[in-house]
Amino acid sequence: MAVIGKDIKEAIEILKSGEVIGMPTETVYGLAGNAYNTEAITKIFTVKNRPTFDPLIVHTSSIERVHEFVSEIPEKAQLLAKHFMPGPLTLLLPKKDVISDLVTSGLETVAVRIPNHPLALQLLENLDFPLAAPSANPFGYISPTSAQHVDNQLGDKIKYILDGGECTVGIESSIIGFFDDEIVVLRKGGLAIEEIEAIVGKVRIEEHSSSNPKAPGMLKSHYAPRTRLLFTDDSLLIDENISKIAYLGFDKFHTSIPQENQLLLSPGGDLSEAAKHLFAYMRLLDARGFDKIYTDLLPEKGLGRAINDRIKRATTQE
């Protein structure tokens, strides 16, 4: 198992030696390594068991420092950066040569993010290189929102996990690209579309697909727990051994399932709270050995859109 601690100096030493660590952010925990070091990047892909066609997000501590590895920031991107960085937003920007093709899977753009987490920012400020960091889960599984989640899944492969507590946002950053002057949301995430549009006007939302060359990592079946996750269909429940059925709900219990088998993402109906709980609650139910977990979509607004995206992908069995 990895050491879980709050020692920034230790984290810096390990990163400087070309190794990878677990890192907190406000969205989900990352598996971080020196973005300028090919060996460290290779380790990230190996530890995560991630295909190299799926590019990584590069994290830094300020907009000024983005210029170290990005050649140009379009005006609309600057506007978004001014409002939402640090924050749960990732911008796709043209890369400089210091970023290797391994980081971007050969794409000309690099994904850039400034996490809004005090410990992550302190770490990044004290490094003279940015950190490439995908979510710290094995490829295809649920993203981690606590240091313990990281340890459970990757603890035997990494030395150290910097403990920044539970993630306050709970779902991954929103990813935005700029193509021929059009603003495109490639992944719905912790920053609501409504907030983005309030600053830059209408955006296009690209629904994910495994064959979308602009977002190679947006595979349909993702974020999946081991237990089958299905949408509620009362007819399906009739013949089931109901004591082996769980329900992950938004704000109301399911009337045909025992209450002790149920978790509500936000009894008060708050979408931010639901986002914060989503992955942790999926894990809790997944660990209890149910035959199936039933769920339903949330209201399709605000963070509900990103939550629904994750739920849909977790229920996809392909």
Residues that bind ligand TXA (CB under 6 A): 25, 27-28, 30, 54-57, 90, 92, 104, 107, 109-111, 113, 115, 133-135, 172-173, 175, 186, 214-218
Instruction: Tell me the three state secondary structure of residue 140.
Output: coil
Amino acid identity for residue 312 in this structure: K
Instruction: Closer to ligand TXA by CB, 25 or 168: give it.
Output: 25
Instruction: Closer to ligand TXA by CB, 70 or 264: give it.
Output: 70
C-alpha triplet 193, 196, 201: angle, nearest 5°: 105
Amino acid identity for residue 185 in this structure: V
Amino acid identity for residue 275 in this structure: A
Tokens of 138: 């094995």
Cα dihedral value 310, 311, 313, 315, nearest 10: 160
**Closest residue to ligand TXA using C-beta atoms:** 217
**Closest residue to Mg ion using C-beta atoms:** 135
Using rule CB under 5 A, residue 116 touches Mg ion: no
Alpha-helical (H) ranges within the chain are 8-16, 38-48, 63-66, 75-84, 101-104, 118-125, 147-154, 193-200, 234-237, 271-286, 304-315
**Smallest separation, CB 57 to ligand TXA (Å):** 5
Asked whether 208 and 255 are in contact (CB, 8 A), the reply is: no
**101: how many CB neighbours lie within 10 A of its CB?**
14
Instruction: Closer to ligand TXA by CB, 90 or 261: give it.
Output: 90
**Smallest separation, CB 48 to Mg ion (Å):** 8
**Smallest separation, CB 6 to ligand TXA (Å):** 18
Q: How far apart are CA 280 and CA 112, in angstroms?
A: 26
Buried b (16+ CB within 10 A) or exposed e, 6-37: eeeeebbebbeeebbbbbbbbbbbbbbbbbbb
**Smallest separation, CB 52 to ligand TXA (Å):** 11
Query: Which of the listed partners (Mg ion, ligand TXA, none) does 107 bind, with a CB threshold of 5 to 8 Å by partner kind?
Result: ligand TXA
**Smallest separation, CB 260 to ligand TXA (Å):** 33
Q: Enumerate residues 124-143 that contact Mg ion by CB under 5 A.
A: 135
Q: Enumerate residues 136-175 that contact Mg ion by CB under 5 A.
A: none
How far is CA 33 from each of CA 101, 133, 195, 291, rounded to the nearest angstrom? 15, 7, 31, 38
Instruction: Closer to ligand TXA by CB, 175 or 257: give it.
Output: 175
Query: Which of the listed partners (ligand TXA, Mg ion, none) does 163 bind, with a CB threshold of 5 to 8 Å by partner kind?
Result: none
Query: Which of the listed partners (Mg ion, ligand TXA, none) does 117 bind, with a CB threshold of 5 to 8 Å by partner kind?
Result: none
**Smallest separation, CB 260 to Mg ion (Å):** 31
**Smallest separation, CB 145 to ligand TXA (Å):** 11
Instruction: Closer to ligand TXA by CB, 131 or 285: give it.
Output: 131
Number of shown-chain residues binding Mg ion (CB under 5 A): 1
List interacting residues with Mg ion (CB under 5 A): 135
